[in-house]
Amino acid sequence: MSGKQMTKKEWLDEMVFRDTFGRPYNLSDVPMTMMTRRESFKKQGGTKEDINEYWNENKHLYVKEK
């Protein structure tokens, strides 16, 4: 991958396409909407510890777009 790695703040503030419960796109009949990744975690009941754990395991996958 090329590009610069996102900061944790950039990653949490990024707009993502989720259902109204904050879950990733799926084939359910729940309406989809745009929200920040931070909102998505909150709607799913994620704690700061959950967010930190996910970030630490996956941060290498997130780079800034040019």
With respect to residue 36, please indicate whether it lies within any of the assigned structural domains: yes
Task: Output the CA–CA distances (angstroms, integers) from residue 25 to 3, 5, 16, 22, 61, in the order listed.
Answer: 26, 24, 10, 9, 19
Give the residue among 26, 42, 25 at the shortest CA–CA distance from 34. 25
Structural domains counted in the chain: 1
Stronger pLDDT, 34 or 64, i.e. the higher one: 34
With respect to residue 57, please indicate whether it lies within any of the assigned structural domains: yes
With respect to residue 13, please indicate whether it lies within any of the assigned structural domains: yes
pTM of the model: 0.84
Q: State pLDDT tens for residues 7-47.
A: 999 999 999 999 999 999 988 899 999 999 999 999 999 99
Confidence at 2, pLDDT banded by 50, 70, 90: low
With respect to residue 3, please indicate whether it lies within any of the assigned structural domains: no
Q: Which domain holds residue 45?
A: 8-61
With respect to residue 12, please indicate whether it lies within any of the assigned structural domains: yes
Confidence at 3, pLDDT banded by 50, 70, 90: confident
With respect to residue 1, please indicate whether it lies within any of the assigned structural domains: no
